[in-house]
Amino acid sequence: MFVEVIIKLKKHFILYLFILFLTGCSGTSTQQITIYKSLGEIQCQAKTGSIAMIRQELFNANIYVFGKGIKGDDGVARITVCGASTGEIGIFVIKQQDYKKAKALGFMQY
């Protein structure tokens, strides 16, 4: 009786292992990269740039963007003075293969 149970478990184990192997190979992996571009905002002036506008640039260049993108800053400390950059950037995740097209539009790797 015990030997029969072990044999059945062994058969099922091989079947489960085979199924696990197949499901592990079924997905396609897309390499992603995070990019950014300045929003072009200037202190003391009306807001002119937006995440949506920059995302549209990528869309117009046939670059797929994962998610909506987020607003961030470039991490550079700035003096508060009219006419200086705010340092705001738009951050997006795209496919690695599209980076050359994005770079041509002025985007940089984050």
Q: What is the pLDDT of residues 57-83, one digit of tens each?
A: 999 999 999 999 999 999 999 899 999
Report the domain count for the chain. Answer: 1
- Whether 21 is covered by a domain: the verdict is no
Which stretches of the chain drop beneath a pLDDT of 70?
1-29
Predicted TM-score (pTM) of this structure: 0.71
pLDDT at residue number 15: 43
Instruction: For residue 100, give its domain range.
Output: 32-109
CA 70/CA 94 separation, integer angstroms: 13
CATH of residue 51's domain is 3.30.70
> Among residues 105, 79, 77, 101, which one has the least CA distance to residue 90?
105
pLDDT at residue number 49: 82
